[in-house]
């Protein structure tokens, strides 16, 4: 999936969107390794999600690996697919603990939209198989 037939504007907009998603998700993934060293308020927020602290590094590993797959063009679609599943789990978790809709439940959906928009703008082959028509 090369970047042939993509305008410079589309390519750079896609790169910026994808880059923002990668930075945010890598940061989030790394933080999952250090929850026990965070202030009590942050630990309480993490505990509210209902996951035992010893599980968080595993979630961080899955997130980091999936994000790195997304970051490289050859594996970007695989990474996006894995991240879509991960973000779906985040939505389900926030629904389960009754977090606010706009700030918590919908945030992973917003992130998923940005994630796929970045790919859509960078890869013309992806445009051929998406259901969006002119």
Q: What is the DSSP letter of 68?
A: H
**Residue-by-residue pLDDT tens, the chain, 134 positions:** 555 678 899 999 999 999 999 999 999 999 989 887 878 777 766 677 888 888 889 999 999 999 999 999 999 999 999 999 999 999 999 999 888 898 888 999 999 999 999 999 999 888 888 776 66
Residue 13 burial by Cβ neighbours in a 10 Å radius (0-12, 13-18, 19+): middle
Whether 76 and 69 have beta carbons less than 8 Å apart is answered as: yes
Whether 21 and 70 have beta carbons less than 8 Å apart is answered as: yes
In 3-state terms, what secondary structure has residue 82? helix
**Nearest CA among 46, 5, 21 for reference residue 109:** 21
pTM: 0.88
């Amino acid at each position: 999936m090369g970047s042939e037939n993509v305008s410079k504007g589309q390519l750079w907009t896609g790169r910026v969107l994808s880059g923002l998603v990668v930075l945010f998700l890598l940061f989030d993934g790394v933080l999952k390794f250090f929850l026990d060293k965070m202030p009590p308020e942050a630990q309480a927020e993490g505990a509210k999600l209902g996951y035992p602290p010893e599980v968080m590094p595993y979630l961080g590993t899955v997130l980091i690996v999936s994000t790195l797959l997304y970051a490289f063009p050859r594996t970007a679609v695989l990474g996006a697919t894995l991240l879509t599943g991960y973000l779906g789990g985040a939505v389900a978790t926030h629904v389960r603990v009754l977090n606010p809709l706009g700030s918590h439940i919908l945030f992973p959906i917003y992130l998923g939209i940005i994630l796929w928009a970045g790919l859509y703008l960078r890869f013309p082959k992806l445009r051929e198989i998406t259901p969006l028509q002119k």
